[in-house]
Structure 1
Amino acid sequence: MSNGEHIFFRSAGSVNPVIDRADGIYCYDEDGKRYIDGMGGVGVVSIGHNVPEIREAALKQMEKVSFAHPFHWKNQPHMELTERIANFSPAGMSKVFMCSGGSEATETALKLARQYHVERGNISKYKVVSRWSSFHGNTLGSLSMTGMRSRRDIFAPLLQDFPKIAACNCYHCPFGREYPSCNMPCAEDLEAIILREGPENIAAFIAEPIVGAAGGGLTAPDGYFKVIREICDRYDILMIVDEVITGFGRTGRNFGIEHWGVIPDIICTGKGLSSGYSPLGAVIVAEKVFEPFRTGRGFSHGYTFGGNPLSCAVGSAVLKYIEDHKLVQRVAQMGTYFFEKAQELYELDIVGDIRGKGFFMGLEFVQDKTTRKPFAASDNIAGKVADTCFRNGLIVGAGKGGIDGVNGDHINLAPPFTCTENDLDEVIDIVKTSIRQVQAAL
């Protein structure tokens, strides 16, 4: 049996246990220890592990054809999946470009926005405005749009100097105000930077409806995205929403942006689209954005595995499973219970904020609840909580820097949509026990 010595680990000196199998909401290591997948991998596993219908769909497609390049062929799984995605999407968003994951999707959106404006004669438009405390991917284009210092620092000389606006963080308002009397300067900041940079140079604005890795569930207040939409329309700027985590039911709606009653121009997706059964991503485009490509030179972009029959058959089976079992509605209902149960965590000394929607929750840890003072970054509180949860049989995601790029500790929870009330109780109970253990050692 291999010992993994040839793996170039993402984390130096990785000592992670070896996973042996997974089923439903559980993962098991080689020693048979059970872990609740409270992070759904990394916001990926929506319908649970080892679902027979998905396995059968993959096998059925493999028996026919697994790969066919779109230069040469159309294929039925590609056509079926894009139809399902279009039916899942907001009104008027009917064109779907397939890829293999979230970073590819946001990179695609960047290039698509640029070419959209070029085809319409606006050749100076190329910059994409994004927000601080955001994460849009690890390719150089998507990282250029990312406002997460820890991911950017080493690679900064390689990145485009795209403009950033203030994060939407009501718990640590960068303007020192309180909602709703604030009049949302975090949204108005978009217009200010457009005018400073020149509207003729701005192609698009991108944001996560609910922030993942960079902010631990940071959630915009009512009205925020309506203002953003109006500003984008005013200056002929495409509105892109990064739904790589929040898409396909994670927040209790088909797409997270629907909570704000706004329709964007481009949606980037990944993760839950295939529930982790195959690498898969997609860019969903409004009809008005697709129109210039009908008579132009086509889209000067593509990926080898985009639209491959095997991944598309898997994605189609996942969406069918979500629809057949009414899992989006289930998340909307059970998400209310999840957040009600989580209110117990406010009893703990270091839990400052609980935020998110549906089955996507972020917890922020603070030294002082009154002042909302964060822990020193060197204390690694989020890492300690996540490691303790793992030892206690629960997988969560840890992050830091959500306040100013350096300070701020949070963990994320994104369990499979199939969790019962008892499952959610166990998740919150393990989190509570683990935080208490960390607190006791402070």
Structure 2
Amino acid sequence: MVLVKLETDATADSANRVTMAKKSAVLHRDLALEFLPLARSEGNYLILETGRRIFDASGGAAVGCIGWGNERVAQAVAKQVRDAPYCATIFYTTKVQEELCRELVDSTNGSMSRAYIVNSGSEAMEAAIKLARQYFLEISPAQPDRTRFISRKQSYHGITLGALAVGGHAYRRAKFEPLLMKNTSSVSPCFEFRGKGPRETNEEYVTRLAQELDDEFQRVGPETVCAFVAEPVVGAALGCVPAVAGYFKAVHAVCQKYGAMLILDEVMCGMGRTGTLHAWEQEGVVPDIQTIGKALGGGYQPVAGILANDRVVSALEKGTSAFVHGHTYQGHPAGCAAALEVQRIIREEGLLQNVQRMGVLLEKALRDKLGHHPNVGDIRGRGLFWGVEFVADKATSRPFPAEAHVAMELADLGLTEKYAIGVYPGGGSADGIRGDHIIISPAFNVRSDEVEMIAATVARLVADFFATLNAK
């Protein structure tokens, strides 16, 4: 990975980073990268050991949803750790787990029946895959041949082997292809910028994609398919791509036609990020299984989960009554305490309404300040979940070569003192390998003046970065 060398104005800052690189015992994501030493965080700012304050305009990987340093959440976690820090869920439950799952189920207005709490989005997807498979063994008559999953190209559903196999992220899959299960396949994403024909209407585009999914069911054998898996708004793999109107109703109808499940991955786009607590509320469909994470606990503890509708839960209740899956740390009390308090804050402070209001402002500001830049190909998103895709040629939407690492270098430059802003980089949006984008996803309580500052700073960052790149 090629990264821009971080600007260093203080000798102490440089010494800290070099010391970390030489002496760290951590198996970091990149062993050649000198990571910035984070000391603390407060509000929307990350504060380095050198004192530099970086505005966190992406909440990490769209995780931070109420800002950092919230005392209510800290106290809730501390109290739970004192009261009962761990629960062996093979024998016990806790009040906090019961309350969190009730909060989540009730938030769906009866659409979902039970919740299952784990520690990461990848764990949630693993649980969803296994639950979908077990459902078809539990119903009468059982359907043991249903072992396949269909997802979409340029999708990402987790880094563990099962979740990676279901996803279509070419770069992350490449080194592990021999280890991945082979009972998966993929169809085209609903990606208006790169997938919709120049003279194609939304209705025609939806019909074409639904037919492609139907054809894939027929190709692999509809009686073998457990589920179709998709993100309502695609996150890291494509950079905040919402579906065109009617798409999810159309693919849901294909699943129902063949008796397969619809699994919606809302780990990144859910729990309020796109303006409603559940992203599927805006699509007019209810999934059979839903994965959640990131904004569930706002980064205060590792926590994620799945929600299952009554069709799925009833099959287990009428069958073996046991979900053959489990983790040592599932339903972890501290994680549940953090998530429960974060969700209460979102509800009590009306933060979903703020996401909707600030999302309108953010979209306008990004389009006004970046829309005409020759290297900005597309600006898309929903709520406080926005992506900017960069292109080498605006007229043809030609992407930069993958080896240029444009998004990563731009995001890296943003962390320097001149800009001091955090955005989330991604790649592969054009064809799975090429295609650079950044994600802008600030906290749900962001203010209008902060939204304007984010857009202005990102515009300045983009202008400076490409002025240097294009001059080479």
Bucket of the pairwise TM-score, normalised by the shorter protein: over 0.9
**Identity percentage over the alignment?**
33
Match of 1:261 in 2: 284
- Which whole-Å deviations, capped at 9, do the CAs of 1:355-378 have from their partners, x for residues lacking one? 010110010111222221212222
Match of 1:387 in 2: 412
The yes-or-no answer on 1:114 pairing with 2:136 is no
Checking the alignment, whether the CA contact within 8 Å between 1:35 and 1:390 is kept in structure 2 is: yes
- Aligned partners of 2:241 and 2:47: how far apart in 1? 31
- Aligned partners of 2:459 and 2:334: how far apart in 1? 41
- Aligned partners of 1:195 and 1:91: how far apart in 2? 33
The yes-or-no answer on 1:104 pairing with 2:123 is yes
Pairs within 5 Å for 1:37-436: 37-89=56-108, 91-120=110-139, 121-161=142-182, 162-173=184-195, 178-180=200-202, 182-184=204-206, 185-297=208-320, 298-344=322-368, 345-391=370-416, 392-436=419-463
What SS does the corresponding residue of 1:233 show, helix, strand or coil? Answer: helix
- Counterpart AA for 2:426: G
- Counterpart AA for 1:283: I
- Counterpart AA for 1:331: V
- Aligned partners of 1:260 and 1:236: how far apart in 2? 20
Shift of 1:90: 5.1
Checking the alignment, whether the CA contact within 8 Å between 2:196 and 2:205 is kept in structure 1 is: no
- Aligned partners of 2:348 and 2:375: how far apart in 1? 41
Checking the alignment, whether the CA contact within 8 Å between 1:218 and 1:362 is kept in structure 2 is: yes
Checking the alignment, whether the CA contact within 8 Å between 2:113 and 2:313 is kept in structure 1 is: no
Shift of 1:424: 1.0
- Aligned partners of 1:343 and 1:37: how far apart in 2? 20
Shift of 1:12: 2.2
Checking the alignment, whether the CA contact within 8 Å between 2:154 and 2:429 is kept in structure 1 is: yes
- Counterpart AA for 1:166: S
- Counterpart AA for 2:404: D
Shift of 1:295: 3.2
What SS does the corresponding residue of 1:93 show, helix, strand or coil? Answer: coil
Match of 1:30 in 2: 49
- Aligned partners of 2:238 and 2:345: how far apart in 1? 30
The 1:168–1:177 alpha-carbon spacing in structure 2 relative to 1, beyond 3 Å, is farther
Checking the alignment, whether the CA contact within 8 Å between 1:148 and 1:405 is kept in structure 2 is: yes
Checking the alignment, whether the CA contact within 8 Å between 2:231 and 2:265 is kept in structure 1 is: yes
- Aligned partners of 2:330 and 2:211: how far apart in 1? 37
- Aligned partners of 2:349 and 2:106: how far apart in 1? 17
- Aligned partners of 1:177 and 1:14: how far apart in 2? 46
- Aligned partners of 2:305 and 2:279: how far apart in 1? 16
- Which whole-Å deviations, capped at 9, do the CAs of 1:29-49 have from their partners, x for residues lacking one? 001101111110111111110
Checking the alignment, whether the CA contact within 8 Å between 2:44 and 2:55 is kept in structure 1 is: yes
Structure 2 gaps, min length 5: 1-15
- Which whole-Å deviations, capped at 9, do the CAs of 1:34-70 have from their partners, x for residues lacking one? 1111110111111110101001111111221110111
Checking the alignment, whether the CA contact within 8 Å between 1:131 and 1:147 is kept in structure 2 is: yes
- Counterpart AA for 2:450: D
- Counterpart AA for 2:382: K
Checking the alignment, whether the CA contact within 8 Å between 2:366 and 2:455 is kept in structure 1 is: yes
What SS does the corresponding residue of 2:361 show, helix, strand or coil? Answer: helix
Q: Which moved more, 1:338-347 or 1:83-92?
A: 83-92
- Which whole-Å deviations, capped at 9, do the CAs of 1:155-204 have from their partners, x for residues lacking one? 00000121101121111117676332634222321111000000110000
- Aligned partners of 1:174 and 1:324: how far apart in 2? 40
Structure 1 gaps, min length 5: none
The 1:202–1:167 alpha-carbon spacing in structure 2 relative to 1, beyond 3 Å, is same
- Aligned partners of 1:207 and 1:77: how far apart in 2? 30
What SS does the corresponding residue of 1:194 show, helix, strand or coil? Answer: helix
**TM-score, normalised to structure 2's length?**
0.91
Checking the alignment, whether the CA contact within 8 Å between 1:188 and 1:227 is kept in structure 2 is: no
What SS does the corresponding residue of 2:234 show, helix, strand or coil? Answer: coil
